[in-house]
Structure 1
Amino acid sequence: MARTSPPTPADTDAEAGGDPVLGLVGFAEVLRSAGVPVTTDRVAAFLQALDTLDVTSRMQTYWAGRLTLCSDPDDIVRYDLAFEAWFEPAQGGRTRVRDDRPPPAPKLASLAPTREGEGEDDEQEAGPEIKAAATGTEVLRSRDLAELSGAEREHLRRLLALLRPEPPTRASRRKRRSRHGEADPDRTLRAALRNHGELSDIRRRDVSRRPRKVVLLIDVSGSMEPYADALLRFAHVFVRRSPRSVEAFTLGTRLTRITRELRQRDAERALTAAGKAIPDWSGGTRLGEVLAAFVNRWGQRGAARRAVVVVFSDGWERGETELLGTQVQRLSRLAHQLVWVNPHAGKDGYAPVQGGIVAALPYLDQLLAGHSLDTLEKLLKVVRDA
């Protein structure tokens, strides 16, 4: 009765006319040439697996190699191509394991377009061609947030939810027990009293650390609309990670505090609530007046004092740029560090020529790009190290 399963059996040593172990090791060398990081331990595991399985079964040989030799999902395509090229079908629907030397190293096809006249000689070189492409996640991490499709935005939302921001810390006035640091006379004396007045060792203490406040100011004007959704989700992750030390506001024609809305666990509910609370979504922007309202109402009262303040804006100002520069200067005096994130700063040929950026630049600690997931992760490191 004919088999209904797709794989066909492999030949034994006598049928192949050679040592099948040499052919299996040669297959591992082909995988290395194709770009699959096959280690000696993985080859040993592959041979051990075939020792317990039916080496004459093509399906079992395929899965034994795929489960032991592949370490990343990106390796599967290269593995399939190399498997079909190395294990040749023989008569009777069986498969012959080659025991000769592996073919020339496969050529990885570049995804970048080549110039006319270049690479013609290389294309005639022997060896199978295996196209190597970056994974969707790797490509998405460097894509501009404003250029994503609907499916890519949904994928980005899942990646943003996986971020784990680490808030910066600052020295506290309180001391903590430590093996190093200055002597702790109170604890040392109490320990001596419990030991009948004998001083056995000196207890020590060191400076304890507590989270430093972080303030996120997000521009939701019309020019920032392509980035607003991703930035609000970024803020949601930050607020959920440290709800007691992170504050979030939106900037437009008015100032809106959305910290309470972003403290909800579910991201969709949090953004829906934040959208209802923001009255000037995708409207104009008056950065100078709005920053003045923040400094007067929240900054001087403690929200921005010794905090890391991050402003997400492209710097387009409809009001007076002199007012914006004055308010940024006031904010920089209150804050421990003032970071401005401009989505356009990461693009080729960018120059800080917008009136708002020119007015604020002298008082900024850092001007960063914020147009992709990679740049937002770099921002997390900047905030953490502050």
Structure 2
Amino acid sequence: MLRMSVAFGRLLRRAGLAAGPDRVVGFAGALEELDVANREDVYWAGRVTLCSRPEDFEVYDRAFKVFWEGKEGLKVPDPPGSTFSIRLSPDSVQPPKKSAEKNEKGDEAVRLRFSPVDVLRKKDFADCTPEEFAELYRLMADLRLSGATRRSRRLEPAHRGRHDQRRTLRGAMRTGGEPMRHRYRKARDRPRRVVLLCDVSGSMASYSRALLRFMHASVASGEPVEAFVMGTRLTRVTRELATRNPDRALREAAKAIEDWSGGTRLGDTVKEFVDVWGQRGMARGAVVVLLSDGWDRGDVEVLADAMRRIHRLAHRVIWVNPLKAAPGYQPLARGMAAALPHVDVFLSGHNFESLQELAYAVAGASTERYQ
């Protein structure tokens, strides 16, 4: 931590900040007490210990993004007569033998230890650049939604369980009619269906595209996943998202969604899902995931009743609200407040790390109810 703090302090001094040794040591000490994988903790620790006046904040922010997040395209302003550049090596996880080396132009270059991917996993989708989204989409391709298993009526061979008379007698025919080995069978376990309902109204514009990309990865994985989008109407997009090519899948889904970034009738669309699809068996025993900020212009009693019906049908109901990650968040939106009593797990879904948490919850690893 001290070596990284010294390198960061050197960058700040070259950019004109008075980040002296005492401040750098204070920053290093703060990092020892924090989770360095948490971008917000590292950011505020540095801002408090390394900045001495409000005028330093802009330079600090740009330097932080270059040094800790790998934003090579950002230029850190230099004081007059100074030249300084940073060369990133995000895959290096070993401490460098030298804290600094000279590049071909004679500028000082700093080799970083931390991978920008680790920071990207925690970054809010609303703050990501197109380049960062491209990397996130590659990570999402490896993320799978597999529901908790359930016993089916189909049976499979087993070492113990119910006696399989037919297979036992068939084996006895090969040994002169003597059943030398008894055969058994048991009920087969299969993953529960996962149903995704994503809000694509205007209030979800900062998150809906990333969440749809996540839905594509889930549907295309081959697991039993159904996908719907909700705006002023309900649209099933499972078939459009089933193709392996993510860009083609998103284009086909966009054609099917007539009300993208429009208004929201959350209660009506959830009710439509229950009436048209849920009662026909799609939600029965399934893991139902709603991805929405909870804003609803309609009658919230309609939403509350629809959620009550879903909760009775489904194995588990999960609500994913990107706004939940905001400091001090309270579910004050009328729709959100009406839905929560019928929700088993309440998650944020604002970044990749929270989508990993969603995958665990779908698989049954998390059963914590919203308090």
Identity score, percent: 48
Aligned 1:1-386 pairs, distance under 5 A:
73-75=91-93, 78-81=95-98, 134-242=114-222, 245-385=224-364
Q: Tell me how far 1:264 sits from its aligned partner.
A: 1.2
Structure 2 Cα separation of the partners of residues 260 and 182 of structure 1: 39
Whether the 8 Å contact between 1:239 and 1:262 is mirrored in structure 2 is: yes
Give ranges in structure 1 of 5+ residues lacking alignment.
1-71, 86-129
What amino acid maps onto 1:292 in structure 2? K
Structure 1 Cα separation of the partners of residues 99 and 268 of structure 2: 64
Whether the 8 Å contact between 2:91 and 2:113 is mirrored in structure 1 is: no
Whether the 8 Å contact between 1:143 and 1:372 is mirrored in structure 2 is: yes
CA, structure 1 residues 133+343, in 2 after alignment: closer, same or farther (shift >3 Å)? farther
Structure 1 Cα separation of the partners of residues 101 and 251 of structure 2: 51
**Aligned residues: CA RMSD:** 2.1
Give ranges in structure 2 of 5+ residues lacking alignment.
1-89, 103-109, 366-371
Structure 2 Cα separation of the partners of residues 378 and 209 of structure 1: 23
CA, structure 1 residues 319+190, in 2 after alignment: closer, same or farther (shift >3 Å)? same
TM-score, normalising length from structure 1? 0.66
Whether the 8 Å contact between 1:167 and 1:242 is mirrored in structure 2 is: no
Q: Tell me how far 1:375 sits from its aligned partner.
A: 0.4
Once the two structures are superposed, residues 76-129 of structure 1 have per-residue CA deviations (whole angstroms, 9 ceiling, x without a partner) of 6x33526979xxxxxxxxxxxxxxxxxxxxxxxxxxxxxxxxxxxxxxxxxxxx
Is the partner of 1:248 in helix, strand or coil?
strand
Point out the structure with max Rg over C-alpha. Answer: 1
Structure 1 Cα separation of the partners of residues 150 and 178 of structure 2: 37
2:65 maps to: none
Structure 2 Cα separation of the partners of residues 144 and 183 of structure 1: 54
Whether the 8 Å contact between 1:311 and 1:340 is mirrored in structure 2 is: yes
Q: Tell me how far 1:211 sits from its aligned partner.
A: 2.8
